[in-house]
Amino acid sequence: MTSFDVIRRLRRTTGVRKIGHAGTLDPLASGLMLMMFGTACKQAQVYTKLDKRYVAEVTLGANSSTGDGEGEKTAVSDRVPARDEVAAALARLTGEITQTPPIYSAIKIGGQEAYKHARAGRSVEMPSRQVTVYENQLLRYEYPLIELEAKVSSGTYIRTLAEDLGGALGTGAYLSGLVRTEVGEFSLDEALVLDEADAAAVSLHLREI
């Protein structure tokens, strides 16, 4: 389900035509999306810039053409890093860091989304950017899988964080699972799943927005 699929469904169930969101989720990802109705859509830019928290699964041993589990995999190394190596690498990727976003992203290059250039076989240069990783905690490690929790600034790509982790460990890595759990002060624990939002359609429709 794409982000626009969510909007289309909410339009149908609420009767509200003007609906927006504050940041897409990658096809691989699940979790929290902030939805805005009516005049609240004017605040999209504010909410898009909020910090975010994710729980991510990273697979070591190979790189992916897309940075995630959907791309073509290329084996890099079967070396098994120790847990303390993984923790140390995550620590080095914490704070203000430089990232180069993946070409399979919605960043516009020459007026067109980068992923469209990639799908057309065109080579483009992705500009690097400064981002902040506030927290980067190792939750679980059982080779080849790493589970981590990261709180990051807006514009941070967790796919790139996974690739950089694989580079630091010399093993290669790609993002194999991702859940967005927080956007600013908003938490997944407080969110409605889409089916619940359908059930609440009448109250959403009647609420003054």
**68 contacts 58 by C-beta, under 8 angstroms:** no
Contact assessment for residue 19 and residue 30, using Cβ atoms and an 8 Å cutoff: no
DSSP 68: B
The dihedral formed by the CA atoms of 77, 130, 133 and 23, expressed in degrees to the nearest 10: -100
The number of C-alpha atoms within 13 Å of 49 and in the hemisphere containing its C-beta is 4
> Are the beta carbons of 94 and 131 closer than 8 angstroms?
no
- Of 5, 26, 189, 195, catalytic: 26
Q: Is-catalytic flag, 198?
A: no
Give me the phi and psi of 62, to 5 degrees please. Answer: -155, 155
Of 29, 44, 60, give the one whose Cα is nearest residue 158: 29
Give me the active site residues, please.
26
